[in-house]
Amino acid sequence: MKEKLAAEFIGTFTLILIGAGAIMNGKADLLGIALAHGLAIAIMVSAFAAISGAHFNPAVSFGMLITKRLNTRTFLSYVAAQLSGASLAAVALRYIAGWGNDAGKSLGAASVANGISPTKAMVAEAIGTFLLVAVIFGVAVDKRGTFGAVAGFPIGLMITLEILFMGPLTGAAVNPARWFGPALVSGTWINSWVWIVGPLLGAGVAALLYDALFTPEKKSI
């Protein structure tokens, strides 16, 4: 189990360090930020899928839990590793950027755009996570898929596309850990339920629907 938790920790750490770091440096535009997140996930999935399944996202682990691919103990251990990795990445970013500038204060934390209600933001996060988890099931979970050996590429590409669409609206976290690390270290808790309820709801619906409609082979971790 320790190698699985280490993989989840490192993968989530990398996502937040690279993704939030791209926001903080002030040089990347929306495409650059989207690619930073997408490429970080693509590389980490490629590196660690064979070890832990490369969830790096409590919502993805939740989808595996409710479709009985994870037991409760493993699920809780995965989530703890993911949140710990996200938090340490945010601490590292805070140390690197310092406290004396806006980037060091916000740490690339997700936020709801002006003119968008929290409920609409939650729905957007749910839809985004639904699509992400559907792709994950199709290319990484379902052994009949044709992208198993390169699952990181379509998963990373999906995250890139979602940030291009949703980034200016909700931050496109589609991942409670992506929200949690920067929020914890920066103290940015406003509308926090958006990035918890939305991703868990979207992931749960996607996982259950994929199982019901396409009946992939189940393999528990």
Q: Which residues of 171-200 are buried (b: 16+ CB within 10 A; e: fewer)?
A: bbbbbbbbbbbbbbbbebeebeebbbbbbb
Q: What are the sequence ranges of the domains in the chain?
A: 2-214
Distance CA 52, CA 178 (A): 18
Q: Is residue 55 helix, strand or coil?
A: coil
**This prediction's pTM:** 0.89
| Contact assessment for residue 96 and residue 16, using Cβ atoms and an 8 Å cutoff | no
| Contact assessment for residue 9 and residue 84, using Cβ atoms and an 8 Å cutoff | yes
| Higher pLDDT, residue 145 or 117 | 117
Choose among 120, 127, 154, 135: nearest CA to 39.
154
Look at residue 11 and tell me whether its pLDDT is greater than 60.
yes
Question: Mind listing the pLDDT tens digit for each residue in 168-210?
Answer: 999 999 999 999 999 999 888 999 999 999 999 999 999 999 9
pLDDT of residue 126: 97
CATH of 2-214, one of 3.40.50.2300, 1.20.1080.10, 1.10.357.10, 3.40.50.12280: 1.20.1080.10
- Give the residue-averaged pLDDT of 130-150: 80
pLDDT of residue 220: 53
Question: Mind listing the pLDDT tens digit for each residue in 55-113?
Answer: 999 999 999 999 999 999 999 999 999 999 999 999 999 888 766 655 556 788 888 99
pLDDT of residue 199: 96
